[in-house]
Structure 1
Amino acid sequence: MRLSPDDRPSRFRNAPAQPEPSRQLRNPPKRGNKRSGGGGGGKRRGGHRRRSFLGGLFYWTMVLGLWCVIGLGGLIAYHASQLPPIDQLTVPKRPPNIAILAADGSLLANRGETGGRTVTIGEIPPYLPRAFVAIEDRRFYEHFGIDPIGITRALVTNLRGRGVAQGGSTLTQQLAKNLFLTQERTAARKIQEAILALWLERTYTKDQILELYLNRVYFGSGAYGVEAAAQRYFNKSARSVTIAEAAMLAGLVQAPSRLAPNRNPEAAEKRAQLVIAAMADQGFITQAAAKTALTAPAEVPERVGAGSVNYAADYVMDVLDDFIGAVDGDVTVLTTIDSKLQASAETILVDALSAQGAKLNASQGAVVSLAPDGAIRALIGGRDYTKSQFNRATAARRQPGSSFKPLVYLTAMEKGLTPDTIRDDAPVSIKGWEPENYSRNYRGPVTLATAMQHSLNTVAARLIQEVTPKEVVRTAQRLGISSALQPNLSLALGTSEVTPLEMTAAYATFANGGQSVLPYVIREVRQTTGKVVYARKATSLGQVIQPQYLAMMDTMFTGVMNGGTGSKFNIPGWQVGGKSGTTQDYGDAWFVGFTAKLVTAVWVGNDDNSKMKRVTGSGLPGEIWGKYMKAAHAGAQPIPLPGGFWQGAPRPLDLGAPVAEARQPEAPPPTSDRAWVPPAPQEKNFFERLFGG
């Protein structure tokens, strides 16, 4: 039964009548029938569905984007909370640098964690900072610390290359990392880096940021900052680098180890070419300048020598604290070192050991050269600083052998003896101690001048017995030897250990008119502002050798050089004094000598105290001393020794029993002053004498 419209349920009562399905199928609308409303109605319902889909997509995209923003904001807030409060954030101080200069103002070395001093933008050529901008951050002057364009460009390049070919970090971000963060590659560090970059851009000008960057970035080989890098790779200041050198430095920061020009010059040059091209492309240099830089690439000078200036620099650092205390900022230390003498001493020492060291089993050496007032002109602490940083010139205590004898003779002169005093060169036994001459031959009665000239051990032994070991110790201390000396009889033959610096200082007293000497290496210390924080004032520690005794000693010293163990090393035209020294079993060999211009000590030996092969003070050390001193005095006007010479004044009474005076004919100069020296017996104390201990 068919219901009428009024008989339908109420929910259908007002609904429009629907055609029966069967009727729709029997009479389908024809295509193209303008009256067909079904097709039109269908299109309207499809468009509605499409609009709903797009609207939903937009809606959910907005929701997702909002949550991403919230999440990113939370992430940023979290990592920002791990940083110090922005209002308390400050750029950490750069570790201070100590620039150590030679007496002529040339740089000897840098000390400190950075390897070079701070430079300002204004004192370096404009193309140097621009080289870094060109290759590291071409939009540096346009972005706000983070460069979205640069990041996008880096991402695209890296995706195309299927690797990491470019980085998106700006110079400001790199600076933030260097100042505040570690080098780890994490998302957390990158977020903090971006936050800090924004703070830097808000706090500093672009030039200030660039200046901070140039002074903090790492260039490899321990060089932090562009000044340290220029000194390290080109032996010059950043103020003097060329465009080609600037490009090489700028290219280096991408990978300091791989692109170091002293290790991989080809890779460094290829990278520098990219920098030069970028500088020209961005208008930082002209095309002509770029062409010149490409045709004349930077060259890294070969480092020659054994790095001996570092021994001098280390000694400067050892004593610097005594003058200025803790270093709070960059300082410049002007020293007394003569760079030419330093280089000469190094070359002569190294060449001599290279030529003869293996044959003679002599592996090490040291040279100390002072002006007569104590200013250190050259200081070589070893054969090769790169292999051993132990400073043998200042820290190694070694037996001086017969080079110590002049202090015994000086004590005897001050007790009333003279160079003409006669003593017997004959076998001697003192409480069981029986020192012998090197030749095992004896001359009989000789003057003290002859005994010192030929380094006769028996006479030195008799003298120390006369004047007592304690008096000799006092004399040595008065002349500047601070090492502990054993007051026994064998002290006469140099069995107590001293440093080469001490021996040189003691001999300086004989060269300067008898004044006490305290070796010094620092003349002045300045801050980068120009403020002088220390300046050495000329001081005198007083007369420690009276003129008459000084004249006697200088007469005896020159006798050694004119007819004794130092005769092969004399300097024509100059008054020269000196003394060789060799210890028992050839463990140490010395030559110490002076003119009115320079006082120099040379030591040769082995760190493990092993025996050398018959190396004496008048052998290898004397040869080194002679070559160095002749080179140092070349072209200089001879200066007489200030102490003058003893003219054979009436002799005071001799100590001890009188000995018949007789002068022996001069013998050929001995080839060595070494002697076989049995250990000297120690004096027994009261209880030992009483109980026989």
Structure 2
Amino acid sequence: MARRKPRTLRIALASTLLVAASVGLVFLSAYLLRLDREIRERFAGARWALPAQVYAAPMEIYTGLELSPTELVHELNRLGYREDPHLAGPGSFVPSRSQIDIHVREFAFWDGPQPAQTLAVRFGGERIASIARIGDGAPVDIFRLDPMLIGSISPSHGEDRVLVRIDEVPQLLIDGLVAVEDRQFYSHFGVSPRAILRAMLANLRAGRVVQGGSTITQQLVKNFFLNNRQTWARKINEAFMALLIERHYDKDEILEAYLNEVHLGQDGSRAVHGFGLGARFYFNKPLAELEPQEIALLVGLIKGPSFYNPRRHAERALARRNLVLEVFLADGLIDEAAYRRALAQPLGVDGGRSGGAERYPAFVDLVKRQLRGQYDEADLTNEGLRIFTTLNPRVQEALERRIVEGLAEIERTRKIKPQTLQAAGVITSADGGEVLALVAGREVRFAGFNRALDAQRPIGSLVKPFVYLTALERPGEFNLYSILPDEPIELRLPHGALWAPRNYDRQLHGPQPLYRALAQSYNLPTVYTGLRVGAEQVLRTIRRAGYEGDAQALPSLFLGAIGMSPLQVAQIYGTLAAGGFQAPLSAIREVQTKDGEPLSRYPIAVRQTLPDGPVYLIGWGMQRVVSEGTGRGVYAALPGHAIVAGKTGTTDDYRDSWFAGFSADRVAVIWVGRDDNQPTGLSGASGALPIWARVMRDIGVRNFDPIPPASVELLRVDRLTGLLADGGCSDTLEIPFMAGWGPQEWAPCAYGGEQSAPLRWLREIFGD
């Protein structure tokens, strides 16, 4: 009996092990089934959250366009076009003094696709003389450059990518990626035993996980499902999932997923994923146009996007790129000549991050806000929508440059501590309310507080045109030459306080014509006028111009005690620029699905909310602000023949400096101040105005010279009396009046005056 015990124990132990193995197999099977279901669910259908892609307005090029060769080359460089004497492919150009040949990229615009084509653009001075197709010489009336990708609307976890199909990927990238990251990719079944053994030996020697030995499939699993923690459990999980992926998907599908998922860097708060966005983020060009050295850098970044960041660690990145190029050469992917050419090239990384998601964060913020009233968050961050916007990169560039340079210059000349001042600016079209440019602060790439949209600052004297506009809507009481008192005013407010406004210069100037009170921005005549017409009516006028805030109808409104953002100011001034026609400001032209199907169009919606006659009169008065009043410094920057209209704005204790105005085609608003609301010592004329004027010069605005509406007549008056004048008067002014409401009597100096009866008789016989 004693001899049977060991055998019994062995049988019991074997049974226990068999049961344990069976149980383990059941748990392993259940675990693998769960992993398998998770993998298939994630890889089926939409595998990624695809951010909405946001595009700037494309540049339209046509015969007769005022554009110099230098300006066109600048635009091509901005879009990532490269000089190539052979025009070998889309995205290349050949410049000369009077002609630029361009291989234009294809692009699916909202109104139809434009194919890739090679064009010769000929210049006559600073203007395009002709456009013709290279090859057959056929004339081309107009074409568009592909629009700049200016940003995206990413999900909360901050991933961003531009999805690419494997057939859109350069073969050198595919072959080079396999050569550097996973030589056995096309032969293994998800894991590489040889690589695992090599990594295991290294890890045992180190006593911890120091080497991965991961295949491309395992890297995809790690990026797509797991985290970066180097633990045995995670590595085992990774291996199982890699095996399951290889069971369900072929090699091209796995590689395509990897090409779109791999992490290649960080753009502010957004992670740059995939080679599609990597090409734009680092080189500002589509993936298909990358050259060997650029492909090598992207492949090299996989090993450590932060460690080899070419913008921060250029030498390190260059060494890594060159090492990858050696692999390309050794594997026969490039020949010796191509290797030498690539090795001689600089990193070539775009310094301004032109392709990154944070290129124009303040403008993209406006786009998001206008979209979120119509689309769910999930649609904007997951469905790959294509958003075509109104942003004009040339206007945006000018606004950014002038704000950054202007603030530094003001601080230097005024001996203000550097980086103390802030600014915001908005430029819109005058006729359709399209937002062309928007800057939220001097750090133009910083996606922080959006001063252009959210800074509610008192607008000061920017409100005065609306006070006087309200008065001019009563032609029986007011016209541009109505004499207004410039006298002290004391007013007891409802809460009991005494309000005693003063002029900006603390002086009294005597009776003033209305237009001059506006031009010189005198406070007391403005308050007098406002009290005559009523605060409720003034606020109603501002609302008809497009203001939607909750300001109160108090007397302090007449001097600008109403908070607005620069965008809100652009809205109400845009209505003045458009002759009383209000168009809600919009940053969006069209929204499409990722496949190019239209979802929403944003046509211009214009309605007349202010009468054209009084608006014409106030526009004339605002021209006088610039020509002879507080805004006359504009012409220190603008050419002398330019005609614009505008208004300075300064708030109490010089806390806010404003200038708002317009030409025939552009409305621009600039605010300068401090975030802590401390005084700056700057008036509207000394702070915001120089920036405004230089921007308007840079963008080449058209003269503001509107045709008087039928309700307006132009009359010549004597400046001394405000009565009708003719050649007998030496100091006259042609001034608009509402028809039938101008002066009816002749000034004494006129041929028709009371002191010139013989001349009046001759006038009646022979006319003027």
TM-score by length of 2: 0.72
Distance 1:70 1:282, change over 3 A: farther
**Given the alignment, which residue of 250, 270, 274 partners 1:225?**
274
Selected match of 2:32 from 64, 71, 80: 80
> Is the 8 Å Cα contact of residues 324 and 533 (structure 1) preserved in structure 2?
no
Larger radius of gyration: 1
Contact 1:124 1:240 in 2 (8 A): no
The within-5 A match list for 1:48-67 is: none
Which amino acid counterpart does residue 539 of structure 1 have in structure 2? A
AA paired with 2:392?
Answer: D
Deviates more, 1:517-526 or 1:236-245: 236-245
For residue 278 of structure 1, the aligned residue among 319, 327, 338 is 327
Shift of the 68–287 alpha-carbon distance from structure 1 to 2, 3 Å rule, reads farther
One of 176, 189, 193 as aligned partner of 1:144:
189
Instruction: Report the counterpart of residue 98 of structure 1 in structure 2.
Output: 52
1:442 to 2:394 alignment: no
Aligned to 1:17: none
Q: CA deviation at 1:153?
A: 4.5
Cα distance change of structure 1 residues 464 and 637 upon mapping to structure 2, 3 Å threshold:
closer
Equivalent residues of 2:57, 2:391 under 8 A apart: yes
How big is the shift at 1:163? Answer: 9.2
CA contact (8 A) 1:426 1:444 kept: yes
Pairs within 5 Å for 1:114-193: 114-155=159-200, 167-193=212-238
Question: Could you say which residue in structure 2 is the equivalent of 1:682?
Answer: none
State the alpha-carbon separation in 1 of the partners of residues 25 and 340 from structure 2.
49
181 and 387 in structure 1: CA distance in 2 versus 1, 3 angstrom threshold:
closer
| Counterpart position of 1:50 | none
Q: Does the C-alpha gap of structure 1 residues 550 and 610 become closer, same or farther in structure 2, counting only changes over 3 Å?
A: same
Note if 1:110 corresponds to 2:152: yes
Q: Unmatched 5+ residue regions in structure 2? A: 1-16, 59-146, 493-497, 725-729, 732-768
**1:618-637 correspondence runs (5 A):** 618-633=685-700
- Residues of 1 paired with 2:620 and 2:469: CA distance? 12
Post-superposition offset of 1:75? 8.3
TM-aligned CA distance change 1:543 to 1:89, over 3 Å: closer
Counterpart residue number, 1:238 = 287
Secondary structure, in 3 states, of the residue corresponding to 1:578? strand
What letter is aligned with 2:226? L
* Cα drift, residue 617 of structure 1: 0.3
SS in 2 for 1:272: helix
Q: 1:52 — aligned with what? A: none
Q: Judge which range, 617-626 or 264-273, deviates more.
A: 264-273
Check if 1:347 corresponds to 2:381. Answer: no
Gap change, CA 1:397 and 1:643, over 3 Å in 2 = farther
Between stretches 457-466 and 292-301, larger displacement belongs to 292-301
Give the Cα–Cα distance (whole angstroms) in 2 for the partners of residues 154 and 334 of structure 1: 49
Change in Cα spacing, 1:72 to 1:171, as seen in structure 2 (3 Å) is: farther
Q: Distance in 1 between matches of 2:213 and 2:452?
A: 52
Within a 5 Å distance, the mapping from 1:182-581 to structure 2 comes to 182-221=227-266, 222-303=271-352, 309-326=360-377, 327=379, 328-357=382-411, 359-360=415-416, 363-372=421-430, 373-385=432-444, 389-416=448-475, 417-431=478-492, 432-540=498-606, 542-570=607-635, 571=638, 572-581=640-649
Asked if 2 retains the 8 angstrom alpha-carbon contact of 1:420 and 1:648, the reply is: no
Q: Post-superposition shift, 1:159?
A: 7.8
Cα distance, 1:642–1:512 mapped onto 2, change above 3 Å: farther
Assess if the C-alpha contact under 8 Å between 2:663 and 2:703 holds in 1. no
Secondary structure at the aligned position of 2:511 is classed as: strand
How far the C-alpha of 1:86 sits from its partner, in A, is 6.7
What is the letter of the counterpart of residue 240 of structure 1? E
Q: Distance in 1 between matches of 2:393 and 2:38?
A: 49
Say which is worse superposed, 103-112 or 623-632, in terms of deviation.
103-112
Letter in 2 for 1:213: Y
Label 1:345 to 1:89 Cα distance change in 2 as closer, same or farther (>3 A): closer
Displacement after TM superposition at 1:650 (Å): 11
Displacement, 1:235?
2.6
The 8 Å contact of residues 544 and 610 in structure 2, kept in 1 or not, is answered as no
Alignment-mate amino acid for residue 472 of structure 2:
M
Query: Aligned equivalents of 2:427 and 2:641: distance in 1?
Result: 20
The farther-off stretch of 359-368 and 450-459 is 359-368
Q: How many residues align?
A: 592
Deviation of 1:603 after TM superposition, in Å, equals 0.4
Partner in structure 2 of residue 655 of structure 1: none
- Relative distance call for 1:68 and 1:263 in structure 2 (3 A) is farther
- Per-residue CA distance 1:245-287 (angstroms, 9 max, x = gap): 1111111111222111112222222222222222233333334
Are the aligned partners of 2:644 and 2:704 in contact in 1 as well (CA < 8 Å)? Answer: no
For the 8 Å contact 2:50–2:160, the answer to whether it is kept is no
After TM superposition, the structure 1 stretch with the greater mean CA deviation from structure 2, 143-152 or 73-82, is: 73-82
CA RMSD of aligned residues (A): 3.2
With over 3 angstroms needed to count, the CA separation of the structure-2 counterparts of 1:106 and 1:88, relative to structure 1, is: closer
What is the one-letter code of the residue matched to 1:501? L
Identity %: 33
Quote the Cα distance in structure 1 between the aligned partners of 2:712 and 2:162.
54
Higher relative CO (Cα under 8 Å, sequence separation at least 6) belongs to: 1
Q: CA deviation at 1:184?
A: 2.1
1:59-104 C-alpha deviation (Å, 9 max, x unpaired): xxxxxx9999999968854753663647964327312212221112
Deviates more, 1:339-348 or 1:92-101: 92-101
CA contact (8 A) 1:323 1:534 kept: no
Find the aligned partners of 1:225 and 1:396 in 2 and give their Cα distance: 37
Q: CA deviation at 1:193?
A: 1.5
Aligned mates of 1:392, 1:251 — CA distance in 2: 40
Following TM superposition, by how much is the alpha carbon of 1:155 offset from its aligned partner in structure 2, in angstroms?
A: 4.9
Checking the alignment, whether the CA contact within 8 Å between 1:575 and 1:641 is kept in structure 2 is no
Larger helix percent: 1
Unaligned runs of 5+ in 1: 1-64, 652-659, 667-693
1:506 positional shift: 0.8
* Number of the residue aligned with 2:706: 641
Q: Give the AA of the match of 1:282.
A: D
String of CA shifts for 1:45-72, please: whole Å, max 9, x gaps.
Answer: xxxxxxxxxxxxxxxxxxxx99999999
- 1:677 paired residue number: none
Supply the AA of the counterpart residue of 2:373.
Answer: D
Q: Which one-letter code corresponds to 2:610 in the other structure?
A: I
**Which secondary structure does the structure 2 equivalent of 1:322 belong to?**
coil
Structure ranking higher in strand proportion? 2
Other structure's SS at 1:366 match: strand
Structure 1 residue 381, shift from structure 2 partner: 0.7
Structure 1 residues 86 and 605: CA distance shift in structure 2, 3 A:
closer
Which of 658, 668, 671 is the matching residue for 1:603? 671
- CA offsets per residue over residues 127-180 of structure 1, 9 Å max, x none? 122222111101111111112233335556778999978532110111122222
Cα distance change, pair 304–74 in 1 and its aligned pair in 2 (3 A)? closer
Q: Over residues 455-509 of structure 1, what are the superposed CA-to-partner deviations in whole Å (9 max), with x where a residue is unaligned?
A: 1111110111111101111111110111221211110100111111111111111
Moved more, 276-285 or 604-613: 276-285
AA paired with 2:422?
Q
Q: Confirm or deny: 8 A CA contact 2:655 2:674 kept in the other structure.
A: yes
How far apart, CA to CA, are the structure 2 residues paired with 1:260 and 1:308? Answer: 18
